[in-house]
């Protein structure tokens, strides 16, 4: 078979390959990458934001949707960055100074080190407040949405009974990606 | 006495009805290690990173804009028609997301090329103007179906015409696909396609959180020029995408010298694509209407004065989704696929004068209604529904004098009822399903004649079973099995001749569909955050294989009959390693042993299944270099394969390796704009390898482009 002369000449090809090899030899990590812990916190905080879109409250205040934050860790610090973001057609208001009244929140994020969860849980009984946390066994213990690590990923578990008790409607889409716990 | 001589087992395993010549005339990439391990899908963000930062370094406010719940949850949809976590699927699913898609070399601009570097896939795109004539898991191209957002499309034609900019992700569903999807009833090209060996779902972009406009343009080898414009935005509850693109090239001769593809003048082609995607949230994000429409114009000539072509393709997908209660979800989908293809034919090498013009018109309308019910305290998912397809197929031949003769007039329709249950029990996932499928063919005209048989119908019951066991968070085992079938093509049933004194194909109204069973067994192992290994073995078998026998030499008459069987046994080994945020690597190996069993014909008995290479191997590297430079390189090895089951008549192909590379350089990167320079170098070692049907790859080619986003 007669071969067609290539449009790109071999010397150019060799040069490109050499450049590629040189680049391979020179490669090294670039600075300023997020650490694993920071990224994990960011993914958990992003989950909180996206989960809100898939929950229906019996009624919502017109001015803002209140996300209250209890505890002090990487996730709770990050959540403050979401202030003003639009969700469910209203801006997100972050209450993280510890002075909030839990029943006035639409969402309560409980940080991993927060020890007041049993007390907060008692005050929230019957209130339409979505509770989210990465504490171990949070959903099994009466919280609505728990974040847990598995296989190097962050996953969701949902307690449908707790959601019903809070008069919240969890979208089937959210249930489809979470595991449900009694 | 009839001389039974079995020919062309290839005919049913891999190729279409006898219009072959006419028919023919027609990674695992950059993975940001830590991000991927925490949420592998984050690499898929469509919106460009702000301030030149990689995705994981964005501030949270920006991070939530470029991610979604689907991405965070690493969801896939093909398994149950509802989004579920990938590790709850009993079958192995390989997911290619939009960012990866942008990085994968596609020398022929064919969606099938996105799959080339995944294990088990032999992607064999014959040219930029032709289809992918490959195979998957040891079986020919008819046994791996394609879906567009859950509705079937043609695995041959549509991959040539659909725009990758519309695709959010590709889910390669390996192994016997669930009973949830029907065959594609195409009567053109290779005819029916079935999801026996697997199915590939091209999932459309749905979520539009942020506005984005993108212009790209470029030029490359063979006088290739390409430009496109893309915009996405939202207004209230309405999200929309608009895209248009043009491409043209003086495409180098891609046929073997002296073959039917020989050129006498410079060939060229032009391709214009336009698509629109609308998504409207009625009252909740899980209660939506969506419409996708794409039109593609493809015209040019194949390098001879009377070998011009002009094709129009229309693709429509409509979807209604409603999670109307906590545990109930309703989906309705409807689609249209219109193919209008025109070719001019000459009599090369005898004469270059026009002989005739062929026009093929085919419209396929698939529809699907699915109801899903979560029960058992959320541990079980029941899926049930009905799907249907309606097909109109017409071909005409126009003589140089202008006379038109009707060659083919046929219709087909199918109805399927399906039910599937999937249960999670601690570390076990169990899946089982049933399908009842009925097909009806009506033939008014075949091969220019009124066929002796005007109708045929078949009903089949299909099943599918699967299980997955999670031994530990990083180790799971799975096994699946399922049945499928392939209906005969129109002319095999109805014949192309009505008299016993002329040449053509005789009817066989008693012809049965081919039946098949696919099985697989595999392991998914993630020993560390950086490393993932998958091993999958498969065994696919076909019974009642349809072969075409010579009945008479004078006149030349053939008839298709059920005879023989075939099996493909093999394994796929995949490894992915992401040692840092700047480097990721992957490699995979597929070995396949295939055999055709047809004791009545020693020439065919014991030969390999056509188009199924004995080995396939891939390796790739993705590097993020200093200075906003990104490089990806892929190596692809194809082992020996054949184009027929006849030892006497087959040709061997393969035994070649390919290197493709892409380089990116971000010239501008700020909060409002991104300007990126790209360089594609395909077939770096200039392997002008032969392909079946006298095609060959034109070898080394380059393309330089610029991409502007804001």
CA distance B424 to B322: 24
Give the residue-averaged pLDDT of B178-201.
87
Percentage, residues of chain B above pLDDT 90: 53
Query: Chain A contacts of B82, Cβ < 8 Å?
Result: 172-173, 176
CB contact under 8 A, A171 and B284: yes
Give the residue-averaged pLDDT of B119-147.
88
Q: Are B298 and B271 in contact (CB under 8 A)?
A: yes
> Positive or negative, the Cα torsion across B691, B696, B701, B703?
negative
CA distance B65 to B67: 6
Element (H, E) at A77: helix A74-79
| Fold annotation for A36-180 | Rossmann fold (3.40.50)
B349 upstream amide cis, omega within 30 of 0: yes
Chain B, nearest residue to A29 by Cα: B582
Nearest partner of B646 among B708, B601, B590, B696, judged by Cα: B601
A175 touches chain B (CB under 8 A): yes
Q: How close, in Å, is residue A120 to chain B by CA atoms?
A: 27
Give the residue-averaged pLDDT of B164-192.
87
CA distance B707 to B701: 20
CA distance A137 to B311: 60
Helix (H, G, I), strand (E, B) or coil at A161: helix
* CB atoms near residue A126 (< 10 Å): 9
CB contact under 8 A, B60 and A17: no
Cα Rg for chain A, rounded, in angstroms?
A: 24
**pLDDT tops 70 at residue B8:** no
CB contact under 8 A, B286 and A173: yes
Tally the domains of chain B: 1
Q: Is residue B346 domain-resident?
A: no
Helix (H, G, I), strand (E, B) or coil at A39: helix
B651 touches chain A (CB under 8 A): no
CB within 8 A of B674, min separation 6: which ones? B48, B666, B668, B707, B708, B709, B710
Picking from B34, B59, B626, the nearest residue to A30 by CB comes out as B626
What are B667's two structure tokens? 């010239």
Q: Is residue B357 domain-resident?
A: no
pLDDT in tens, A118-127: 888 888 888 9
Which structural domain, as residue segments, surrounds residue B485? 5-28+204-226+382-709
Query: Quick one: pLDDT at residue A36?
Result: 61
**pLDDT tops 90 at residue B564:** no
Percentage, residues of chain A above pLDDT 90: 29
Partners of B298 in the β-ladder:
B271, B311
Chain A, nearest residue to B66 by Cα: A46
CA distance B462 to B460: 6
Q: How close, in Å, is residue B347 to chain A by CA atoms?
A: 24
CA distance B696 to B12: 24
Q: Is residue B366 domain-resident?
A: no
**pLDDT tops 80 at residue B37:** no
How far is the CA of B579 from the CAs of A37, B132, B353, B576, B589, in angstroms?
A: 17, 34, 61, 10, 21
Q: Is residue B545 domain-resident?
A: yes
Query: Quick one: pLDDT at residue A29?
Result: 35
CB contact under 8 A, A173 and B83: yes
* CB atoms near residue A25 (< 10 Å): 8
Give the residue-averaged pLDDT of B129-153.
89
Chain A, nearest residue to B688 by Cα: A3
Average pLDDT score, chain B: 85
Query: Chain B contacts of A177, Cβ < 8 Å?
Result: 69-70, 73, 75, 83-85
CA distance B658 to B344: 34
Chain B, nearest residue to A32 by Cα: B57
ipTM exceeding 0.90, yes/no:
no
Percentage, residues of chain B above pLDDT 70: 90
Q: Which of A159-168, B137-146, B195-204, B659-668 has the lowest mean pLDDT?
A: B137-146
- Domain definitions of chain A by residue range: 36-180
CB within 8 A of B1, min separation 6: which ones? none
Q: What is the CATH number of the domain that holds B640?
A: 2.40.170.20
Helices (H), ranges, B375-468: none
The backbone region for A110, taken as left when phi is positive above 0, alpha when psi lies in -120 to 50, beta otherwise, is beta
Element (H, E) at B608: none
Partners of B172 in the β-ladder:
B94, B200
CA distance B109 to B106: 5
Q: Is residue B654 domain-resident?
A: yes
Beta-sheet pairing, B198-204 with B144-148: parallel
**pLDDT tops 90 at residue B247:** yes
Q: Is residue B542 domain-resident?
A: yes
CA distance B328 to B324: 6
Q: pLDDT band for position B99 (50/70/90)?
A: confident
CA distance B21 to B672: 51
CA distance B255 to B258: 8
Nearest partner of B620 among B168, B174, B55, B104, judged by Cα: B104
* CB atoms near residue B602 (< 10 Å): 10
């Amino acid at each position: 078979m007669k071969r067609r002369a290539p449009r790109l000449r071999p010397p150019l090809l060799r040069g490109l390959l050499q450049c590629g090899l040189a680049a391979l030899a020179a490669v090294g990590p670039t600075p300023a990458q997020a650490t694993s812990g920071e990224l994990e916190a960011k993914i958990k905080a992003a989950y909180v934001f996206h989960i809100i879109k898939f929950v229906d409250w019996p009624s919502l205040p017109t001015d803002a949707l209140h996300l209250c934050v209890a505890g002090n860790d990487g996730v709770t610090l990050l959540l403050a960055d979401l202030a003003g973001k639009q969700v469910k057609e209203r801006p997100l208001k972050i209450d993280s100074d510890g002075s909030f009244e839990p029943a006035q929140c639409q969402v309560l994020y409980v940080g991993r080190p927060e020890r007041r969860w049993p007390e907060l849980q008692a005050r929230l009984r019957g209130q339409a407040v979505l509770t989210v946390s990465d504490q171990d066994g949070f959903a099994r213990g009466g919280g609505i949405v728990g974040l847990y690590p598995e296989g190097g990923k962050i996953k969701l578990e949902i307690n449908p009974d707790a959601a019903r008790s809070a008069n919240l409607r969890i979208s089937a889409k959210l249930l489809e990606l979470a595991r449900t716990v009694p | 006495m009839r001389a039974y001589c079995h020919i062309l087992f290839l005919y049913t395993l891999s190729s279409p009805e006898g219009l072959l010549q006419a028919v023919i005339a027609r990674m695992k990439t950059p993975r940001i290690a830590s991000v991927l391990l925490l949420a592998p899908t984050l690499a898929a963000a469509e919106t460009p990173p702000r301030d030149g930062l990689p995705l994981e370094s964005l501030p949270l406010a920006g991070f939530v804009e470029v991610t979604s719940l689907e991405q965070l949850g690493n969801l896939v949809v093909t398994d149950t028609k509802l989004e579920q976590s990938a590790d709850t699927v009993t079958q192995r699913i390989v997911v290619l997301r939009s960012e990866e898609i942008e990085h994968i070399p596609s020398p022929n601009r064919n969606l099938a090329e996105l799959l080339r570097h995944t294990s088990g896939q032999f992607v064999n795109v014959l040219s930029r103007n032709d289809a992918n004539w490959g195979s998957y898991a040891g079986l020919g191209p008819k046994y791996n179906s394609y879906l567009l957002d859950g509705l079937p499309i043609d695995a041959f034609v549509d991959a040539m015409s659909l725009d990758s900019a519309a695709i959010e992700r590709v889910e390669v569903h390996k192994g016997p696909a669930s009973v949830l999807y029907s065959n594609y009833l195409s009567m053109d090209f290779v005819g029916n396609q079935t999801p026996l060996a697997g199915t590939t779902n091209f999932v459309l972009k749905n979520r539009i959180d942020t506005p984005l406009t993108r212009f790209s343009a470029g030029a490359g080898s063979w006088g290739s020029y390409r430009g496109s414009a893309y915009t996405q935005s939202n207004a209230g509850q309405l999200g929309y995408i608009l895209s248009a693109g043009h491409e043209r090239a003086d495409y180098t001769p891609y046929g073997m010298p002296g073959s039917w593809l020989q050129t006498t003048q410079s060939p060229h082609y032009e391709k214009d694509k336009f698509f629109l995607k609308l998504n409207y949230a009625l009252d909740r994000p899980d209660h939506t209407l969506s419409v996708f429409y794409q039109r593609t114009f493809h015209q040019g000539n194949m390098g001879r004065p009377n070998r011009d072509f002009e094709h129009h393709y229309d693709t429509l997908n409509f979807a209604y989704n409603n999670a109307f209660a906590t545990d109930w979800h309703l989906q309705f989908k409807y689609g249209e696929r219109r193919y209008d293809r025109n070719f001019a034919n000459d009599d090369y090498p005898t004469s270059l004068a026009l002989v005739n013009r062929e026009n093929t018109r085919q419209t396929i309308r698939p529809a699907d209604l699915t109801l899903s019910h979560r029960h058992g305290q959320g541990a079980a998912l029941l899926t049930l529904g009905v799907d249907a397809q309606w097909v109109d197929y017409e071909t005409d031949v126009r003589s140089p004098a202008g006379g038109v003769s009707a060659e083919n007039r046929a219709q087909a329709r199918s109805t399927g009822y399906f039910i599937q249950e999937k249960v999670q029990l601690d570390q076990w996932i169990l899946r089982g399903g049933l399908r009842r499928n009925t097909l009806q063919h009506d033939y008014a005209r075949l091969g220019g004649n009124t066929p002796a048989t005007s109708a045929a119908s078949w009903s089949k019951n299909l099943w599918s079973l699967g299980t997955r066991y999670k031994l530990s968070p990083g180790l799971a085992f799975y096994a699946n099995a399922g049945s499928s079938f392939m209906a005969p093509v129109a002319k095999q049933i109805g014949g192309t001749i009505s008299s016993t004194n002329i040449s053509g194909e005789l009817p066989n109204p008693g012809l049965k569909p081919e039946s098949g069973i696919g099985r697989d067994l595999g392991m998914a192992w993630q020993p560390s955050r950086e490393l993932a290994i998958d091993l999958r073995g498969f065994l696919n078998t076909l019974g009642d294989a349809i072969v075409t026998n010579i009945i008479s030499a004078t006149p030349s008459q053939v008839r298709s009959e059920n005879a023989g069987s075939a099996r493909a046994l093999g394994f796929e080994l995949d490894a992915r390693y992401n040692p840092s945020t700047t480097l990721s690597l992957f490699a995979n190996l597929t070995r396949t042993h295939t055999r055709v069993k047809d004791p009545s014909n020693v020439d065919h008995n014991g030969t390999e299944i056509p188009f199924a290479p004995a080995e396939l191997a891939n390796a790739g590297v993705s590097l993020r270099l200093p200075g906003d430079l990104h490089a990806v390189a892929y190596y692809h090895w194809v082992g020996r394969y054949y184009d027929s089951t006849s030892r006497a008549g087959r040709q061997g192909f393969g035994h070649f390796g390919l290197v493709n590379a892409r380089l990116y350089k971000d010239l501008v990167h700020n909060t409002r704009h991104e300007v990126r320079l790209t360089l594609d170098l395909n077939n770096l070692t200039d392997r002008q390898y032969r392909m079946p049907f006298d095609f060959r790859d034109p070898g080394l080619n380059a393309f330089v482009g610029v991409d502007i986003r804001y």
